[in-house]
Structure 1
Amino acid sequence: MPQQNLIARNTIVAAYASEGDLGLARMVFDAMPEKNVVSWTTIVRAYAQNGHLREARVLFEKMPERDVVTWNSMVTAYAQNGLVDQAVDVLNQMPCRDVVSWHVTIPAYSHNGHNQQAIALFRKMDLEGLQPNEITFVTIFDACATVSLLRVGKLIHAEAVPAGFSALEPVSTSILTMYGKCGSLEEARRIFDAMPERRTVSWSAMISAYPESGHGLLALDLFKEMGLDGVEPDGITSIAVLSSCCHWELKDGWTYFVSLRNDYGVDPMAEHYICIADHLGRAGRLAEAQDLIHNMPFHPSPVAWTQLLSAYKTHGNNQTKLNADELAQQVQKLDETNSSCYVLLSSTYES
């Protein structure tokens, strides 16, 4: 077959595949008297991208030859479908890996909760002499933050600086978050203060770091500074502020909650309502907290009712014990495996 005809038929297969018409794509592929590695890669990717992983793997195994693009197609397909072990299995079989191979697999591990494995894979990539990209650095700093691996995070930070990635806002924000979640507030603040431009996500990361380490007032001070700097908060910022008020028994929680929509145009999410209900419960305002949970425009979660039940244990009296019993039943209806509600209920009656 002339080379032009081969290219044309490969293009037709790709076109049908991009429209999701695997039947026509396969019909054209099967009818081709000659196929090259591009032909095979195109049909393998077509099945993989449309979720037909088993058929994609069958075709992959039938290929007379494979290039790195074909291998990466299978790695990407497994990774995007959350099949991390299969993705890594294909990665390990590859005779030659490129940056795409690693940049697909490392985030897949992290996004599926396998942060230690993601870090180990990052180190393996480093040993092969391949340069991480922006997304990989962000992913690996988030992984270090999640499992509180400050020492490893510092080492990777030292690699990001000479490579120039630490100057990019997504990377610098992920580094800030890593230090904050690992309790290294001075280093987090140093990075925050050194940012030439700070957007909402950077402010939110720094504000969130303070209450996590027991500095609620500093979070509120920085929130006020954020307003003076003309930066609008988002839902994540607001949750950090409300958490500060709630967990450190500060009085401004309700004020901040009301101002979300009135002053900042932020529509409160379920997390905001749960947070302020917890704030009211901790303050002993049990009836208000219960009314808020009942009337919020979201279906109450077991967390909301369990937090309120805990408040009843702390602040309740004989008149509130019947309500506590009703709350425990609410939790049990929503989550039959949740036995903590009955532990709290028992201690409520004992108090």
Structure 2
Amino acid sequence: MLSFGSLKRSPFGLIRSLSLVKQWSGPYRDSYDYTRLLQRCGDIKTLKEVHAQIITSDNEQNQFLAAKLISRFAELGHLSMDNARKVFDVMLERDVVLWNTLIRGYAHYGPFVEALRAYEEMRLSNVCANQYTYPFLIKACAAMADDINGEIIHAHVVKSGLDLDLFVGNALLAFYAKRRRLEVSRKVFDEMPSRDIVSWNSMIAGYAQNECAKESLALLHQMLQVVYAPDHATLAGVLPACAQEAAIQEGMWIHCYIIKSGMEVSAALGSGLIAMYANCGRLDAARGLFDRMQEKNIVVWNVIIRCYGMHGLGNEALDMFSQMLECGIQPDGISFICVLSACSHAGLLQKGWELFEKMEDYGIPKGDEHYACMVDLLGRAGRLDESLEFIKSMPVSPGKDVYGALLGACRIHSNLELAEEVAQKLFVLDPRNAGRYLILAKMYEDVGRREDAASVRMLMREKQVKKPLGCSAIEVDSVFHAFGVEDEMHPMKDQIFETLKQMEKVKEMELVALQG
């Protein structure tokens, strides 16, 4: 690596080595000449050569050029951030633009913690952060999953009076959504004095990514009512919600919108549409869309394999996996989760074992979900003893997914003794999952052990573990209405209950007519 001292000691040898200089006509008169030259640097070697020329021409302290150099070094990845930092460190005067450029480099390319350290240095230097500083810092906190520093930065934003800035607000709501703190994210969204398409997209995608499909779809309808035309990011963000809710109407509207607007069906849109059609039971439509797609990356292949697997079509899933390999697509960890799950649902035990063993051939480490697939595969086949031995032989400590798969197998094959042992482990590993408790309680009830079932339900109450309430939903005039059993909170409860009564009467009359 070139040091600043060596650059100054031997300038003429370095200048002669510059391949770009030979292509440049005329003298270097100002920073704009160097800026144009920097834009043509495509690798670290050439960039260092231009850096040497800047130093030897006494432009080292030019803040405009320093910012350009830092930005160009950062764009080459985190391994070049040391070079960017050296450019920054030799500067005698540093304005907010220079600090922002360095912080942005760390926030985008890492190490992310250095963005926060640079910010602290900036504050100690009495340079005030602006509306461009905070989004980079929030991005770094999100990348590190650092809630504490994220909240500290949020407090600094409020103190500086920039909490109402559009770009800062967008960064904050995206951060909280990524950290699964949707109430805070929505509060930021609702309090924004102005919103752009990025604001809506971030909130819609945040709901969808956190399995709040109804809220995501409702917000999409709200966005359309305020005359915002959805873009590629909007549709890619909301399609997972359509798949979760099997919302065929919204899904088909999105598909039609894509076609009518001439929007390209990218991998992100295509995979979302395929998943939506498959979850709605339209497997032929999903396959037709897959076949027509020009761009098929690993995500698209994984989705179509999963689609066949979830419908119990194990052989078709295996065929798609083979086609993917023939196309030269390297499988990843998700590929094997999808194909192993397909084998499990179709009862293809031997094939599942073969694929599990092949993971090492592709250099893919076996994670908790892969082991869980194998436990599920053995468990569904009734081989509970083998499942138990398999878990004991695991090179890593089994997690909640592995024991959850074993508990499900115990439920299928009515092995209460093993279920009790597994459930106790899950109550520690996954204490907030109501489904674990309810499976054991139901198994107790099935064999008449009602006191034990009551004890499990009492344990749920003591731990304040609540089963998610089921509900029905209907869309009227582009507005979603959801209501549960004996729901007294809905503003139209009287009309709902009266309609249900009328439906019950019609059903009774039909039964009487059939019996007569």
What TM-score bracket applies, with the shorter chain setting the length? 0.7 to 0.9
2: CA distance between counterparts of 1:325 and 1:272? 24
Shift, 1:94, TM fit: 4.6
> Which residue pairs with 1:167 in the alignment?
265
1: CA distance between counterparts of 2:323 and 2:99? 56
The answer to whether residue 142 in structure 2 is matched with residue 41 in structure 1 is no
2: CA distance between counterparts of 1:87 and 1:344? 38
Going from structure 1 to structure 2, the CA distance change for 1:154 and 1:44 (only over 3 Å counts) comes to same
- The unaligned stretches of length 5 or more in structure 2 are 1-62, 64-93, 105-114, 140-148, 449-516
The answer to whether residue 341 in structure 2 is matched with residue 219 in structure 1 is no
Give 1:12-27 correspondences, 5 Å limit: 14=100, 19-20=115-116, 21-22=118-119, 25-26=122-123
1:58-109 CA-to-partner distances (Å, cap 9, x unmatched) read: 3227x9xx7xxx2231232133123544544454455543333323332233
2:238 alignment partner AA: I
Aligned counterpart for 1:259 among listed residues 358, 361, 373: 358
1:244-296 CA-to-partner distances (Å, cap 9, x unmatched) read: 2212222422222222223x443322211111122112223233211111121
1:110-161 CA-to-partner distances (Å, cap 9, x unmatched) read: 3333332222333333344444343322111112112221111111121122
2:170 alignment partner AA: V
Moved more, 206-215 or 104-113: 104-113
Counterpart contact for 2:266–2:295, Cα < 8 Å: no
> Which residue pairs with 1:279 in the alignment?
377
Tell me the matched-pair count.
328
Shift, 1:310, TM fit: 4.7
2: CA distance between counterparts of 1:200 and 1:148? 23
2: CA distance between counterparts of 1:280 and 1:199? 31
1:41 alignment partner AA: Q
2: CA distance between counterparts of 1:176 and 1:119? 18
Q: Find the residue that maps to 1:81 and give its secondary structure.
A: helix
1:40-60 CA-to-partner distances (Å, cap 9, x unmatched) read: 524665775662212312322
> Which residue pairs with 1:78 in the alignment?
173
Aligned counterpart for 2:159 among listed residues 42, 58, 65: 58
2: CA distance between counterparts of 1:205 and 1:25? 46
Q: Find the residue that maps to 2:131 and give its secondary structure.
A: helix
Give 1:1-351 correspondences, 5 Å limit: 9-11=95-97, 14=100, 19-20=115-116, 21-22=118-119, 25-26=122-123, 40-42=130-132, 45=135, 51=150, 52-60=153-161, 70-82=165-177, 83-251=181-349, 252-262=351-361, 264-312=362-410, 326-335=421-430, 338-340=436-438, 342-343=440-441, 346=444
1:103 alignment partner AA: N
2: CA distance between counterparts of 1:344 and 1:306? 15
Q: Find the residue that maps to 1:105 and give its secondary structure.
A: helix
1: CA distance between counterparts of 2:216 and 2:268? 19
Moved more, 19-28 or 232-241: 19-28
1:273 alignment partner AA: Y
Shift, 1:185, TM fit: 0.7
1:257 alignment partner AA: F
> Which residue pairs with 2:110 in the alignment?
none
2: CA distance between counterparts of 1:305 and 1:9? 56
Cα RMSD over matched residues? 3.5
> Which residue pairs with 2:509 in the alignment?
none
1: CA distance between counterparts of 2:203 and 2:408? 42
> Which residue pairs with 2:461 in the alignment?
none
Counterpart contact for 1:200–1:231, Cα < 8 Å: yes
Counterpart contact for 2:174–2:185, Cα < 8 Å: yes
Going from structure 1 to structure 2, the CA distance change for 1:26 and 1:190 (only over 3 Å counts) comes to same
2:291 alignment partner AA: D
More helix, by proportion: 1
Counterpart contact for 1:74–1:87, Cα < 8 Å: no
TM-score normalised per structure 2: 0.55
1:204 alignment partner AA: N
1: CA distance between counterparts of 2:206 and 2:404? 33
Shift, 1:203, TM fit: 1.5
Identity of aligned pairs, percent? 29
Going from structure 1 to structure 2, the CA distance change for 1:27 and 1:195 (only over 3 Å counts) comes to same
Counterpart contact for 1:242–1:253, Cα < 8 Å: yes
In terms of Rg, which structure is larger? 2
Going from structure 1 to structure 2, the CA distance change for 1:71 and 1:312 (only over 3 Å counts) comes to closer
Shift, 1:194, TM fit: 0.3
2:174 alignment partner AA: A
Counterpart contact for 1:210–1:219, Cα < 8 Å: yes
Moved more, 122-131 or 289-298: 122-131
Counterpart contact for 1:14–1:25, Cα < 8 Å: no
TM-score normalised per structure 1: 0.77
